[in-house]
Amino acid sequence: PLYNWSAMRATNFDWWRQRVRGVRRIFDVFRIDHVLGFYRTYAFPWRPQRNAEFLPLSQDEMLQVTGGRAPYYTPRDDSNEEASEANRREGEEYLRVVLDAAESTRLVGEDLGTVPPYVRPSLQSLGIAGFKIPQWETLIDSSRVVAGDEYQRLSVATYATHDHKPLRAMWDEAFEDESATRDQARGDLNKIAQFAGVDSLPADANFDRDFYPRAMEALFRSEAWMAIVMITDLLARKDRFNVPGTASDSNWSRRLHMPVDRLKTSRAVKRRMKLVRSLLAEAGRI
């Protein structure tokens, strides 16, 4: 259900304050999922369980089924400067409540997707770090990937979140002979290679030799406040945590390929962790 901000304001946002106090007792840093929703939310007049029913419909067919109700932005879209300013102002009001309740606990805002131009400057003004995913950080007027030393200090750099494929899975897809996702994987991989200063990836390129060390080094050397690596990328695994928009038994059910006590004694894992530690040290992160 959508947040009823007016009702929350009437109680001085007590629901949010309680949630943040609970999180604060456990974590030093926490992430707000889809922070764009604090500014405006794209809403559907049907439950997600009915998405498959509506996907093949035309606009007119959809309106007929919903009784004339179409998806919409709430509280308003960003169609003009006045509306955008109102969304920015109200979003900052709600986020200041979260910051107040968080006290010294730090916030990260998941600012991915179609991001209105005012959101990232707004987050910066509030002291909330946003995300930097290198393969998506390209200059507006070119295809050049933004270099890590150009990242804002108040940001979190990572190659993937729980909703994305790990690097090893992307690598395997990119070098497959035929795949529906091969071109997309190759494009993303080439952007990461560009970010890491790798000129090209030949057909006989080796993941562990030619790509992984350079990719990790570039991420750690970026100007971002934090560089986060999913455990699947840390261990160079292909397992994926979640596929958004799907209902599957594999979502949120992945386990490590071996128990932690075996990871600690694995020669391959030890070699990889030694490499990662040396890269972190060289980048000044430990």
Cα angle 199, 222, 183 (rounded to 5 degrees) comes to 45
Share of residues in the chain with pLDDT > 70 (%) = 100
232-257 per-position pLDDT tens digit: 999 999 998 988 877 778 888 888 89
Clarify whether residues 45 and 153 are in a common domain.
no
Residues spanned by the domain of 19 = 5-39+84-282
- The whole-number average pLDDT for the span 59-77 is 97
Please choose, from the candidates 160, 148, 107, the residue with its C-alpha nearest in 3D space to the C-alpha of residue 285: 148
Backbone angles phi, psi at 71, to 5 degrees: -55, 150
Within 13 Å, how many C-alpha atoms sit on residue 27's CB side? Answer: 13
Structural contact between residues 127 and 102, judged by C-beta atoms closer than 8 angstroms: no
133 with 149, same domain: the answer is yes
- Per DSSP, the three-state class of 144 is coil
What does the DSSP assignment read for 196-246? TT-----TT--IIIIIHHHHHHHHHHSS-SEE---HHHHTT----S--TT-
Domain co-membership, 17 together with 92: yes
**What is the per-residue pLDDT for 246?**
76
In a domain, residue 79? The reply is no
The residue with greater pLDDT, 49 or 120, is: 120
Q: How many C-beta atoms lie closer than 10 Å to residue 183's C-beta?
A: 11
Say yes or no: 46 and 148 in one domain. Answer: no
| pLDDT score for 244 | 83
Mean predicted confidence (pLDDT) in 128-136: 97
Residue 194 and residue 52 in one domain: no
What backbone torsions phi and psi does residue 259 show, to the nearest 5 degrees? -60, 160
How many Å apart are CA 17 and CA 13, to the nearest integer?
6
Per DSSP, the three-state class of 87 is helix
CB 159 within 8 A of CB 134: yes
52 and 90 fall within a common domain: no
Taking alpha carbons only, the member of 230, 226, 234 closest to residue 242 is: 230
Rounded-to-10 torsion of CA 92, 95, 97, 102: -140
176 and 56 housed in the same domain: no
- Indicate which CATH number applies to the domain containing 144: 3.20.20.80
Give the closest residue to 101 by CA, choosing from 19, 175, 163.
19
Out of 94-103, 220-229, 256-265, least confident range = 256-265
The answer on 260 and 170 residing in a single domain is yes
In a domain, 234, yes or no: yes
pTM: 0.91
Please give the tally of structural domains in the chain.
2
Q: Pairing relation of β-strands 72-74 and 41-43?
A: antiparallel
Q: Is the pLDDT of residue 155 over 80?
A: yes
